[in-house]
Structure 1
Amino acid sequence: MNHRIARWAVYFLCLVLDITVAVGIYRGYLSGWILLPVAVGLTILTLYDRFQRTHALLRNYPALGRLRYLLENIRPEMRQYFFESDTDGRPFSRRQRSVVYQRAKDVKQTVAFGALADMYEPGYEWASHTAFPVKVKPEALRVTIGNEQCSQPYDASLLNISAMSYGALSKTAVLSLNGGAQIGEFAHNTGEGGISPYHLENGGALIWQIGTGYFGCRDEAGNFSPAVFEAAAAAPSVKMIELKLSQGAKPGKGGVLPAAKNTPEIAAIRKVKPGVSVLSPAAHTAFSNEYEMLAFLQQMRKLSGGKPVGFKLCVGRADEFERICTAMVNTGIYPDFITVDGAEGGTGAAPLEFTDSIGMPLYDALAMVVNMLKHYNLKKHIRILASGKIITGFDIMKVLALGADAAYSARGMMLALGCIQALQCDSGSCPVGVATQDPTLYRGVNVADKRIRVANYHRNTIYALAELMGACGFTSAEKVQPEALFRRVTRTDIRSYAEIYGPRLSKAGAPLYPEQIAHN
């Protein structure tokens, strides 16, 4: 494989250089003495990088990996350095990426020479502060998830690890994420790949995601197995159950575990055949409509001993979500939480058309879901979790303003873990050992160090959220209001979040669907 050739190239170079120097010195050539410092320096650098335990990239690619850091340091300090378009076209800031690294390493996070964003360009967002700031305790930024139908509510952090499966991620990555969750007392979503031993080893709180493949709770035919689910859900680490209807990166489409990643161990965890590509179907087989889905949620709540249950979706059709709300009213079955995943969410592998063109963006979907739940008097029963490019404390405050009660982060946690966005997630050759099942690569992830970085990132981001809320005069998450956040929609037009995302009702008082708003 190419990545293995690249890894061994530096060792071969050192060997050839050392032999050349030794022969030259033995024969009395001047060139041997000239090359001696180079040979010794390169050999020492290679050995140091190979055995240090802080940087996975350098451990996996000694000396060679330093080219990446060199290129980063010599880039010109231009506007393009700090702001670029991510894969879905939404502005993604290298400055934000730098903030994650700084928070994970628990180092200085201040910036000189003021803001680097162009505050007069459309899309710029800010919050209005108060002349009389308040003190917000970071440790108080938690929310209880579990309504009157739940007997084991969970006290959740406002920031948690988004769904990423073992199989897509390596065992050392999962151990690091869950270890960080245990240290920081926040939750770790398992992803739809089931509960692995690495999710349980550190004892961090888990949100067990059940996808269309029912991995970890299926029978031999691939259907949901109540008995297998009940046994797994009884684990003390499992705090919540999340039923995945769809995800933002590829809504309406199932996932794929490549055969190369489907090891015997992973197959045993997922209860599938090893060594073959495993497809998750687009739709569930345990239910086919909103009433059956609510009954299924109630069944999982009962089988889990009363733990909080909810569902995750990337909103497609608002009328379908309204039918779900109507079914809740008619049946009296209320999920404890709903996860709204924006179409801007990421994944290791998704078709381009799905990533770019399917699903509702997070803020529009979040506003619609919250407004619909309030209209049907359901919001008091249900907590809302938001997911989709949430990285900073300001990102969390924005979704709180739109009605979310807590948030997930995937890319923020991945960056804290050591991801360098090499975009090799589905290839099995992730250079930092995060998204691979190659032991020669994932051994580069030092769990003892990376779990601390994950916990640091979470702690510092929650601290930043508390400071932002205090600066704006919000004493609790429930009091964050959309009127305090603003977006420049043109160079001369400014609107608040309340104006952009506020309730849009017809003359009869019913929520309007996005396609109806322009004609109302």
Structure 2
Amino acid sequence: MIMISGGLALTGVMDLAQPEHSVRRNYPLVGRLRWLFESVRPAIRQYLVEGDQEQTPFSRSQRSLVYARAKNEISDRPFGTLVDVYRNGYEFIAHSTRPGAVADPASFRILIGGADCARPYPASIFNISAMSFGALSANAIRALNKGAKLGGFAHDTGEGSISRYHREQGGDLIWEIGSGYFGCRTDEGGFDPVRFAEQAADPQVKMIELKISQGAKPGMGGILPAAKITAEISETRGIPRGRDCISPARHSAFSTPIELMQFIGKLRKLSGGKPVGFKLCIGQPWEFMGIVKAMLETNILPDYIVVDGGEGGTGAAPFEFTDHLGMPMREGLLFVHNTLVGAGLRGKIKVGAAGKIISAFDIATAMALGADWTNAGRGFMFAIGCIQSLACHTNRCPVGVATQDAVRQRALDVGDKGDRVYHYHRNTLLGLSEMIAAAGLDHPAQLSPHHLVRRVSLTEIRLFSQLHIFLEEGELLAGASERDFYSAAWRLARPDSFELAV
């Protein structure tokens, strides 16, 4: 007791003397409770205070849905909806008086690959978004890829390249290449075509994805300090140990829209004709339109485009980037779809969408707005045990998902969690098949803006086809577009530069 009292007294004296924290200086010992309460606040809020529909960033209802489907449990709910169906923004799908038969979710696939693609890929309409080894643990990567293998869907590597853990289970991979060119990088940080061709030849790699920007932090590069470059990271990314690794904000392999298209054509050739596309979060609209003009000028088309939303994702980012940079997924998706339609290219390029996709309704909404398929990151993280502790950037993930701590990631059982990934995917697509059958449809590709409805006031609802602008085929090329936003941005776009046309 004397030692405890002495320790408390010494701590109190230190609090009185220290200059950094006014609270502790005025209230020694007691003032320390502030930091205690702040440290436990997220957990207390999530488990005791937060409402079922309160999205921070995902609601308890959303998380519970994923957990139930991942565990292959019944996700049905009794006693009616908990959602206020009369609030502004409430959305639903209009059902048919002649429902169709429930289709086999295994048939929910699309063929990705254009005219210049020799090895098209029959992709599921629901796949795992880009999440790198390093951001996620080895066991998390193993579990995700096992689920992808069991369910026959794709697992995006993230820009951290293909690790040994991606290869263990044999699931289909989408190899994402960012501005750091990890896995196909020269010692100076540029693109290495020989190393790229070697990696791309792996039969497990089904598609190549060039990352222009991501929703979590669009327009931002990064630095991996030398101290954090382990032997595994060095092996996976193809980078030396002992010096900082820089991922620049922009690519060095191209600097104009035309050069981007030429680079995509080069990647397709080097990969042996596999589908090659790019991912971006839409920012300045004339830049994407300049890319589309470059497609028309060079006659080189990407096989697909993935639209990432400014809602952010698994990657940690500065506050301003998370909340105030990048176009949200729905608006970005609609813009990309409309621009391709207006340029007469939509039928030649597939479009994917990523941005807070959790449920079958989320998939249906994205596809009704123009997506051919969807990707989910955080949904699959929930499936392998993420509890939304918001500690992804601290290396102290309590469930072993987003950490490189060997002790913490031991808690993640690859066999069990891989099965959960498979069940979550299968049960979500089963929910989608039941939903579209109620709307009288056979395949999600038949969804259109006419099937989605949104409440816009207490007394009014509108179809998405009434809420949004949808361009006609070739409208931008005809020069007769009267859509002020699209026509003005199209005039500003340049195929030879990302700068504005003068």
| TM range, smaller chain | 0.7 to 0.9
Residues 1:141 and 2:108 are matched in the alignment: yes
Q: Using a 3 Å threshold, how does the CA distance of structure 1 residues 227 and 134 change in structure 2: closer, same or farther?
A: same
Which position in structure 1 is the counterpart of 2:27? none
- 2:110, 2:125 within 8 Å by CA — same for their partners in 1? yes
Matches of 2:406 and 2:47, distance apart in 1? 33
Deviation at 1:469, TM superposition (A): 0.8
- Equivalences for residues 217-232 of structure 1 within 5 A: 217-232=184-199
Amino acid aligned to 2:67: Y
Residues 1:412 and 2:384 are matched in the alignment: no
Residues 1:83 and 2:53 are matched in the alignment: yes
Counterpart selection for 2:210 from 243, 261, 275: 243
Amino acid aligned to 1:396: I
Which position in structure 2 is the counterpart of 1:182? 149
Q: Using a 3 Å threshold, how does the CA distance of structure 1 residues 325 and 512 change in structure 2: closer, same or farther?
A: farther
Which position in structure 2 is the counterpart of 1:96? 62
- 1:431, 1:441 within 8 Å by CA — same for their partners in 2? yes
What is the aligned length? 443
Residues 1:192 and 2:162 are matched in the alignment: no
- Equivalences for residues 427-506 of structure 1 within 5 A: 427-503=394-470
Deviation at 1:370, TM superposition (A): 0.6
- 1:127, 1:485 within 8 Å by CA — same for their partners in 2? yes
Which position in structure 1 is the counterpart of 2:481? 509
Deviation at 1:398, TM superposition (A): 0.5
SS of 2:51's equivalent in the other structure is helix
SS of 1:279's equivalent in the other structure is strand
- 1:261, 1:437 within 8 Å by CA — same for their partners in 2? no
Which position in structure 2 is the counterpart of 1:320? 287
Amino acid aligned to 1:302: K
Which position in structure 1 is the counterpart of 2:304? 337
Q: Deviations along 1:7-41, whole A, 9 cap, x unmatched?
A: xxxxxxxxxxxxxxxxxxxxxxxxxxxxxxxxxxx
SS of 1:489's equivalent in the other structure is strand
Q: Using a 3 Å threshold, how does the CA distance of structure 1 residues 431 and 259 change in structure 2: closer, same or farther?
A: farther
Q: Deviations along 1:291-336, whole A, 9 cap, x unmatched?
A: 0001100111000000000000000122111111111111111100
Q: Using a 3 Å threshold, how does the CA distance of structure 1 residues 74 and 308 change in structure 2: closer, same or farther?
A: closer
- 1:249, 1:346 within 8 Å by CA — same for their partners in 2? yes
Matches of 1:73 and 1:355, distance apart in 2? 20
Q: Deviations along 1:83-107, whole A, 9 cap, x unmatched?
A: 21425xxxx4321110000000000
Q: With structure 2 as the length reference, what TM-score do the two structures score?
A: 0.84
Matches of 2:461 and 2:345, distance apart in 1? 32
Which position in structure 2 is the counterpart of 1:30? none
Residues 1:119 and 2:85 are matched in the alignment: yes
SS of 1:208's equivalent in the other structure is strand
Matches of 1:183 and 1:459, distance apart in 2? 10
Q: Using a 3 Å threshold, how does the CA distance of structure 1 residues 509 and 73 change in structure 2: closer, same or farther?
A: closer
Amino acid aligned to 2:56: D
Counterpart selection for 2:278 from 311, 323, 332: 311
SS of 1:84's equivalent in the other structure is coil
Q: Using a 3 Å threshold, how does the CA distance of structure 1 residues 75 and 353 change in structure 2: closer, same or farther?
A: closer
Q: Using a 3 Å threshold, how does the CA distance of structure 1 residues 500 and 256 change in structure 2: closer, same or farther?
A: farther
Stretches of structure 2 lacking an aligned partner (at least 5 in a row): 1-39, 490-502
What is the percent sequence identity of the aligned residues? 50
Q: Using a 3 Å threshold, how does the CA distance of structure 1 residues 487 and 201 change in structure 2: closer, same or farther?
A: same
Give RMSD over aligned pairs: 2.2
Deviation at 1:388, TM superposition (A): 0.3
Matches of 1:97 and 1:256, distance apart in 2? 32
- 2:109, 2:122 within 8 Å by CA — same for their partners in 1? yes
Amino acid aligned to 1:120: Y
Matches of 1:515 and 1:494, distance apart in 2? 29
Matches of 1:211 and 1:439, distance apart in 2? 27
Which position in structure 2 is the counterpart of 1:388? 355
Which position in structure 1 is the counterpart of 2:140? 173
Q: Using a 3 Å threshold, how does the CA distance of structure 1 residues 512 and 411 change in structure 2: closer, same or farther?
A: farther
Deviation at 1:477, TM superposition (A): 2.4
Which position in structure 2 is the counterpart of 1:9? none
Which position in structure 2 is the counterpart of 1:359? 326
SS of 1:81's equivalent in the other structure is coil
Deviation at 1:347, TM superposition (A): 2.7
Counterpart selection for 1:292 from 244, 255, 259: 259
- 1:371, 1:511 within 8 Å by CA — same for their partners in 2? no
Stretches of structure 1 lacking an aligned partner (at least 5 in a row): 1-66
Matches of 1:247 and 1:164, distance apart in 2? 11
Q: Deviations along 1:385-441, whole A, 9 cap, x unmatched?
A: 000000101100011101110000001000001011111111111111111111111
SS of 1:179's equivalent in the other structure is helix
- 2:314, 2:377 within 8 Å by CA — same for their partners in 1? no
Matches of 1:398 and 1:247, distance apart in 2? 21
- 2:216, 2:315 within 8 Å by CA — same for their partners in 1? no
Deviation at 1:513, TM superposition (A): 3.0
Deviation at 1:278, TM superposition (A): 3.5
Deviation at 1:260, TM superposition (A): 6.0
